[in-house]
């Protein structure tokens, strides 16, 4: 069986034709002349994809047993492609997306080189996410401030962190044992507090309160006035939920949108019998030729951030730069059981034959 990735040529022909039809209003029924143009575009695209100049001049009729075997191979190949597509879709649904969450602290100076840092939960720290890592960052510029007349020196800094609990109670805050004690000398002091943040994320507490104690190893060393900049930096991973899968399934149902002016998937049925190819295309009898058509207003089905920037530039330049176009976002495969240019019965798989989804790019 051959695998043909040249179906893009077919799509190119179909897109050219859809542009022509779109100017005339593709929502209206096709006239006889337009139907003829559509059929010719499909035929030429398929022939180019198969590497053929035209339908085979002759055919070698296989025995019935061979014909049945080829039909069976065709059905198996169709099922295999559908199964692979389903597995790919399921894998895509289960892909974990990671992002970085940064929470600045409300910092209070407690005296004696001690500070209290308070962090509050956001919606991005819900229980469904996975916490990959959590780090507390203290920016060094605070430590490198020196009173006038004192030489500038970079020294090791000892950081000791305690967690304060009992936030929801009227009782005084309780200081737990040290979360960690570490000596650092880098530009940005970074401390791994993953277990502490994980426990906080899973709890009902809204606030995470840390007491940060700084030391330089010098007796009587006094830090300049002010408070340090403390940031809690977390990397979180999120799996798409079943609710989102249902939403995508509903969106897939709405892909077809005859009568819409905005970017969407439109369809034309192609019958190999009607185009005069039933003598050499054995299966399928026909297929639905989808194509993408319609306007791409701002932020409508954007393929990427680049698309949004492109749309904004189009508006700002008053049309001097091109607007986003309605193009295929994904495809479905199709298998053709047909006679090749030598007249032999063969199978050809088109991996990108049928448009399944459209977006603006």
- What does the pLDDT look like over 141-169, one tens digit per residue? 655 555 555 555 555 667 777 787 755 54
Residue 228 has pLDDT above 70, yes or no: yes
Buried b / exposed e along 201-217 (16+ C-beta atoms within 10 A)? beeebeebbbbbbbbee
Is 139 exposed, middle or buried, given 0-12, 13-18 or 19+ CB atoms closer than 10 A?
Answer: middle
Residue ranges, comma separated, of all CATH 2.60.120.970 domains in the chain are 97-239
Share the mean pLDDT of the chain: 74
pLDDT digits (tens, 9 = 90+) for 276-289: 899 999 999 988 88
The reported pTM is 0.50
pLDDT band at 250 (very low <50, low <70, confident <90, very high): very low
243's CB contacts (< 8 A; 6+ apart) are none
Q: What is the pLDDT of residue 237?
A: 82
Distance (Å, whole) CA 197 – CA 248: 33
Give the whole-number percent of the chain exceeding pLDDT 90: 7
189 or 358: which leads in pLDDT: 358
Residue ranges, comma separated, of all CATH 2.10.90.10 domains in the chain are 2-94+243-360
What CATH fold (topology level) applies to the domain 2-94+243-360? 2.10.90
Give the whole-number percent of the chain exceeding pLDDT 70: 65
pLDDT band at 113 (very low <50, low <70, confident <90, very high): confident
Q: Token pair for residue 205?
A: 């507490």
Can you say whether residue 343 is alpha, beta or left, with left for phi > 0 and alpha for psi between -120 and 50 degrees?
left
Looking only at the bridges linking them, the beta strands covering 157-165 and 2-4 are: unpaired
Q: Which of 79-83, 123-127, 132-136, 155-159 is the most confident on average?
A: 132-136
Distance (Å, whole) CA 295 – CA 52: 35
Mean pLDDT of the 64-92 span:
79
Distance (Å, whole) CA 238 – CA 330: 23
Region of poorest pLDDT, from 22-31, 178-187, 278-287, 316-325: 22-31
Cβ proximity of 118 and 211 under 8 Å: no
Distance (Å, whole) CA 34 – CA 39: 9
Mean pLDDT of the 262-267 span:
89
Sole residue written with tokens 């305690």 = 162
For domain 97-239, which architecture applies? Sandwich (2.60)
pLDDT band at 349 (very low <50, low <70, confident <90, very high): confident
Residue 170 has pLDDT above 50, yes or no: no
Sole residue written with tokens 């192609």 = 270
Mean pLDDT of the 300-323 span:
87
pLDDT band at 247 (very low <50, low <70, confident <90, very high): very low
Question: Per DSSP, which regions of the chain are E strands?
Answer: 2-4, 96-104, 106-111, 114-120, 130-139, 157-165, 174-184, 188-192, 207-215, 230-239, 264-271, 281-283, 286-293, 326-339, 345-360
134's CB contacts (< 8 A; 6+ apart) are 192, 193, 194, 196, 197, 198, 232, 233, 234, 235
Question: Per DSSP, which regions of 81-121 are E strands?
Answer: 96-104, 106-111, 114-120
Q: Token pair for residue 306?
A: 């680049």
């Amino acid at each position: 069986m051959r695998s043909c990735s040249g179906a893009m040529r077919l799509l190119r022909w179909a897109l050219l034709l859809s542009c022509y039809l779109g100017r005339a209003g593709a929502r209206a029924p096709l006239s006889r002349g337009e139907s003829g143009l559509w059929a010719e575009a499909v035929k030429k695209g398929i022939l180019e994809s198969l590497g053929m100049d035209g339908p085979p001049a002759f055919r070698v009729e296989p025995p019935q047993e061979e014909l049945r075997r080829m039909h069976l191979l065709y059905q198996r190949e169709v099922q295999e492609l559908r199964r692979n597509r389903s597995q790919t879709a399921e894998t895509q649904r289960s892909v974990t997306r990671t992002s970085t969450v940064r929470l600045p602290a409300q910092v209070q100076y407690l005296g004696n080189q001690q500070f209290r840092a308070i962090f509050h939960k956001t919606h991005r720290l819900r229980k469904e996410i996975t916490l990959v890592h959590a780090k507390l960052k203290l920016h060094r510029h605070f430590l490198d401030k020196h009173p006038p007349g004192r030489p500038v020196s970079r020294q090791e800094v000892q950081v000791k962190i305690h967690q304060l609990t009992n936030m929801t109670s009227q009782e005084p805050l309780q200081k737990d044992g040290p979360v960690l004690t570490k000596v650092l000398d880098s530009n940005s002091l970074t401390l791994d507090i993953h277990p502490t943040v994980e426990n906080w994320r899973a709890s009902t507490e809204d606030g995470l309160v840390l007491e940060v104690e700084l030391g330089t190893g010098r007796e009587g060393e006094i830090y300049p006035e002010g408070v340090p900049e403390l940031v809690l930096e977390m990397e979180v991973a999120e799996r798409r939920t079943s609710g989102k899968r249902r939403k995508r399934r509903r969106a897939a149902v709405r892909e077809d949108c005859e009568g819409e002016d905005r970017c969407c998937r439109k369809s034309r049925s192609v019958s190999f019998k009607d185009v005069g190819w039933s003598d050499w295309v054995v299966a399928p009898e026909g297929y639905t030729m989808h194509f993408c058509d319609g306007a791409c207003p701002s932020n409508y089905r954007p393929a990427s951030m680049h698309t949004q920037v492109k749309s904004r530039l189009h508006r700002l330049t008053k049309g001097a730069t091109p607007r986003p176009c309605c193009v295929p976002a994904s495809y479905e495969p199709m298998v053709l059981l047909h006679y090749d240019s030598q007249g032999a019965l063969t199978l050809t798989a088109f991996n990108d034959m049928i448009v399944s989804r459209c977006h603006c790019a």
